Amino acid sequence: MSAPRNPFTPSFGGTPPLLVGRETEIADFERALDDGPGALGRATLITGLRGVGKTVMLNALEDVARQAGWLVVAETATRGLADRIERDALPRLLAEHDPEAEHRRVAGVTLPMGAGGLSTTVDARYRPSGTLRSLLERLGAVLSERGSGVLITIDEVHRREIEDLRIVTTAVQHAVREGLDVAFIGAGLKPNINGLRGDALLTFLRRSHVLELGQLHYAACVRALDEPVRDAGRRFAPDALELAAQGTQGYPFLVQFIGAQSWIAAGDREVIERADARAAIARARIAMAQYIYEPTLAALSDVDRSFLQAMSEDDGPSRIEDLRARLDATSGFVGVYRKRLLDDGLIAPAGYGRVQYTTPYLREYLRSEGAAAPDASPIERGFGPEPGH
């Protein structure tokens, strides 16, 4: 018998062997599909930290839609987004589902001589065309009549593609206004979503339901680690399971990563031991640097980074007043940066006048980085001019 395969999916966008802790969100979307065109959840923006499970959630909601008999157009916000939907996705779906298209297809078929009836050959050249808006409305109308609809999903939404997003969301908005069964879900990091919702022309997105994904509960992490291992024919020793689940800190990416590494550390053994889980957690912290902290910090301004760095001196939540002193800044500056990091989801309030990190092990990472790069001292970089001065 061949060795059982590692069941975990420690890769971005990888569908986990067991999706945990998102039951409410999934049920809400099922209801939104049942409720009709006015339902709030039919226009949703999924947001949250890197690795929290936005793409996985998007895929899960696409599956919900498919199970309800809907068609899905799944896209990513990269160059040419609107064109791809207008020239490729919608024409393809219309050619397949529009009875009108069927009619024209049959009319375009040349009957083979002597054939007893209509050939089923389709004219592959037949392509419905029009604007994204007219095609979407046509598809929406065809499907609504049959009691189904079309869901458009766009992952990694970003201001960079704002023109295309405007075209797509305007088309969706019109279709919804016409009472058609058209739904939209976008997913992206918090700063990117915030950047779009601030745009006056994107009313549709501003009014969308925002689904902010957070960390998982401890019990959910235990299940997400335990069940896939059992299904694969092995098991965690109870103390190993507890340590591994604690090590994830409720962070979905770490559930998969620590699960996968624990499995690897156990080698051929049937039981994953505590030492395996410990080794996995040590590796996870290195992986977090590469996949999470570095891209996250690279997207921040120097002062925002300095703020996070200054927080790392504390063993728990940081007092704003202490940060102000460490950064040698006025409370006005500190307030501005505090708010931006809160909006980006990188810190969270922790009682009056205090903030804490939201990303697991970030403190430990910044402490080691700070030691390695003394130039990164926040005081040397200095703050910019106070707003309004």
Which member of 7, 10, 128, 186 binds ligand ATP (CB under 6 A)?
10
* Stretch of residues binding ligand ATP (CB under 6 A), selected from 87-95, 129-137, 247-255, 300-308: 247-255
Which member of 6, 44, 194, 256 binds ligand ATP (CB under 6 A)?
256
Rule CB under 5 A: which residues touch Mg ion?
A: 54-55
Comparing every residue's Cβ against ligand ATP, the nearest one is 53
Closest CB to Mg ion among residues 54, 158: 54
User: In degrees rounded to 5, what are phi and psi of residue 266?
Assistant: -75, -10
Query: 377: helix, coil or strand?
Result: coil
Which member of 3, 4, 7, 21 binds ligand ATP (CB under 6 A)?
21
Asked whether the beta carbons of 250 and 217 are under 8 A apart, the reply is yes
State how far the alpha carbon of 260 is from the alpha carbons of 6, 7, 9, 249, 253, in Å: 6, 7, 7, 16, 11
Amino acid at position 38, single letter:
G
The neighbour count for residue 18, using CB atoms within 10 Å, is 16
- Smallest separation (angstroms) from ligand ATP to the CB of 258: 11
Closest CB to Mg ion among residues 12, 218: 12
Report which of 331, 333, 318 is spatially closest to residue 363, judged by C-alpha positions: 318
Closest CB to ligand ATP among residues 14, 370: 14
- Judged by beta carbon distances under 5 to 8 A according to partner kind, the member of ligand ATP, Mg ion, none in contact with residue 224 is ligand ATP
- Smallest separation (angstroms) from ligand ATP to the CB of 126: 37
> Which of the 8 DSSP states describes residue 3?
P
- Smallest separation (angstroms) from ligand ATP to the CB of 147: 30
- Smallest separation (angstroms) from ligand ATP to the CB of 20: 4
Q: What are the residues whose beta carbons fall under 8 Å from the beta carbon of 181, sequence distance 6 or more?
A: 36, 37, 70, 140, 143, 144, 148, 149, 150
Tokens for 305, please give them.
Answer: 């980074």
Closest CB to ligand ATP among residues 88, 212: 212
- Judged by beta carbon distances under 5 to 8 A according to partner kind, the member of ligand ATP, Mg ion, none in contact with residue 37 is none
- Total of residues contacting ligand ATP (CB under 6 A): 25
Q: Does 51 bind ligand ATP (CB under 6 A)?
A: yes
The alpha carbon torsion through 159, 165, 166, 170 (nearest 10 deg) reads -150
d(CA 2, CA 258): 23
Closest CB to Mg ion among residues 193, 336: 193
Alpha-carbon 132 to chain mean position? 25
